A and B are shown apart, each in its own frame.
Chain A
Amino acid sequence: MQTDARTLPAAAAAEQLAEPQGPVSRSQWSLAWRRFRRNRAALVSIAIILLYGLAGLFAPWLAPHNPVKDNSGRDYVPPFWRAHSPAGVAADLTFPLGTDSQGRDVLSRILYGTRSSMVAGLMPALIILVIGSTLGFLAGWAGGLTDQLVMRTTDIFYAFPDVLFLILIMVTLGSTPLGRLGNGLVLFLSALAVVSWTGLARLVRGSALSLKSLEFIDAARSSGASNARIIMRHLLPNSLSLMVVWAAFAVPRLIIAEAILGYLGLGLRPSITGKEFFVTSWGRLFLEAYSNVASQPDFLLVLSLVVSVFVISFTFLGDGLRDALDPRQKR
């Protein structure tokens, strides 16, 4: 990766000295990976997150039942660890986590929900990484009027209550053609991106500002590098660790935003045929599980646990990444 004038962090330098097999040149990223590897909680978290990702990706093959098929007369089947549901229905191992109010298999629905929620977390994060960092670099590098404009815009978005804004967009545009694309996912992802880009833009701008005053940027500029080249070759690689850490903390936030909207009945449109790529989402499931909490508390319990484990994993991953990528920063 980048070998120019970035001073090596002291801890990393000491680590290199301690290496017995002599001077092996290591990139900043391989050093970060070595630090990251020692963080057991973060490694476990990565494994868990990968597991969720695979579960979502392969939901059609893993799900034991059709997630939208109503099994008539088989509603409120309890999960395997209970002999009987509150209403006295006996457990049935063909439905490991039981069935919901309409006799649909809970495990299959959660697997399909995981798929949509993964996309709801990752896609906006990617969109924001592109748009937010572009604006941040522009503001930080260009300064002056551009900077003022971008920063004042972030100020306004900061005061705009984001959940409120999401609700507004979903309700007002939900029944337009845009709102129908991909079961409502397209509109939802764009709305999420629109409300959440400001944090990253501010972060990247700050990083660009502090890098701007360093000598190696002056050197690049005086050797005739264009603005675009400086941003792509120098500012971007040096701000990348910041952006990675931001993403690790942003993804769970975005997923929870989907869950909240879905719970309010405003997220994805429920699928009836089960043929669509996105059948249901965690938010939808929360709504369904909570409306039947008295007859089937286990559904809500399982769902809450699934979501909690996921967001906790992401927090540990974020902490691990931050420690590994920026060892100078104190916790």
Chain B
Amino acid sequence: MTGLLFRRFIWFFPVIIVISLITFALMKLAPGGPWDRDAESKQVDPRTQKLLDQRFGLDRPLPEQYLRYMVGYINAKGSFECGVVCGNLGPSYRQRGKNVQDIFFGVPEGDGRNFFHSKFGYSLRLGLLSMSFAVFVGIPMGVISALRHNTSVDYLITLVTNVGVAVPSFVVAFFAIIVLAVGLHLIPVVQKSWSGITPWIVPAMVFGFGTLAQTARFTRSAMLEVMSQEFIRAARSKGLGERVVIWKHTVRNMLIPVVTNLGPALVGLITGSIVIENIFGIPGIGRDFVLSIGNRDYPLIMGTTLLYAVLIVLGNLSVDLLYGLIDPRVRSE
């Protein structure tokens, strides 16, 4: 188990390096630079541009720029400025005086503001709420569906989950807005405040719906599979109560494939937030990403891509861990 986790963890580094290289290459291939007001025409005068380029090291050869960003460089005062390896994502070109990590994790000023009010905090809240909704509603739905196999309850749940798997959260979000916001006026089209749990309910349910459907489907088929096995019949025939059979013998074995499926689902929830944050106007990291590319704010683009990649790798790693917790057989390997 430790060996497996270690191998997975080591794999993390080449992934991050390749992803950062691809992102870096794409940014440099793009016409225009960070100082242009729009992509077609230059509006900063050449002298200023030269100074800015010097200041941010953009006048240096590309491999050096990449290394400066990833590892670090010696600044004008002769001291070492550490790069991405120390968690320093570099200064934003557009938001003066701010480093990219401050933009992501910086807590805005004001009373009672904490980590959850940073841009990353907003994205994290959306992801966690959606995931909880998917897991804590999806798994019970699947279990009920399997226990009531071939009844009307089962058919209803299967229908809902079929639709949920097919229709992406992107389209579900529009339905929610048409029905709940425009039709019934239950929620505003554009949410003004995100404090408390109420404004989050609809975005989290919409965003988690696809994962919920998938989880419920996996749970149902895994449940049915386990329930048809010999050891369950053995458990029943030696006189164990129905509750023990279901919770201790069936559910625990059924969770393994379900948890494996949560890995890709988590990845979907991390990257999908770009569009959901856009639709509901949630001030997280994804919403500003498209804008930052248009602005050619290189460090912000790199930072966002790297952050997402790290989250995806960590997400997969944590699923591996969870896998070991649920299944003792994996632990002993």
A60 within 8 A of B: no
Which one of A161, A260, A264, A315 lies within 8 Å of B308 (CB-CB)?
A161
A-B contact pairs, 21 of them (CB 8 A): A156-B18, A159-B309, A159-B312, A161-B270, A161-B309, A161-B312, A167-B289, A167-B290, A168-B27, A168-B293, A169-B26, A173-B29, A176-B29, A256-B171, A265-B290, A293-B177, A294-B189, A307-B171, A311-B168, A312-B162, A316-B162
* Complex alpha-carbon distance, A176 and B316, angstroms: 36
Smallest beta-carbon distance A58→chain B, Å = 25
Chain B hits for A256, CB < 8 A: 168, 170-171
| Partner-A contacts on B (CB < 8 A) | 11, 14-15, 18-19, 22-23, 26-27, 29-32, 39-40, 162-163, 165-168, 170-171, 174-175, 177-178, 182-183, 189, 221, 225, 267, 270-272, 274-275, 278-279, 289-290, 293-294, 301, 304-305, 308-309, 312-313, 316
Contact A314 B221 (CB under 8 A): no
Contact B271 A164 (CB under 8 A): yes
Q: Assess A155 versus B275: contact at CB under 8 Å? Given A167-B289, A169-B26, A315-B166.
A: no
Q: Assess A312 versus B15: contact at CB under 8 Å? Given A159-B312, A304-B175.
A: no
Smallest beta-carbon distance A172→chain B, Å = 3
Smallest beta-carbon distance B168→chain A, Å = 5
* Interface size classification for chain A: 35 or more
Contact A164 B289 (CB under 8 A): yes
* Complex alpha-carbon distance, A176 and B118, angstroms: 35
Which one of B15, B39, B275 lies within 8 Å of A159 (CB-CB)?
B15
Contact B162 A176 (CB under 8 A): no
Which one of B14, B178, B289, B308 lies within 8 Å of A293 (CB-CB)?
B178
* Complex alpha-carbon distance, A159 and B266, angstroms: 12
* Complex alpha-carbon distance, A202 and B124, angstroms: 31
Chain B hits for A263, CB < 8 A: 170, 275, 278
Q: Assess A294 versus B182: contact at CB under 8 Å? Given A171-B294, A172-B293.
A: yes
| Partner-B contacts on A (CB < 8 A) | 152, 155-156, 159-165, 167-169, 171-173, 175-176, 252, 256, 259-260, 263-266, 286, 290, 293-294, 297, 300-301, 303-304, 307-308, 311-312, 314-316, 330-331
Smallest beta-carbon distance B177→chain A, Å = 6
Which one of B15, B177, B178 lies within 8 Å of A156 (CB-CB)?
B15
Chain A hits for B32, CB < 8 A: 175
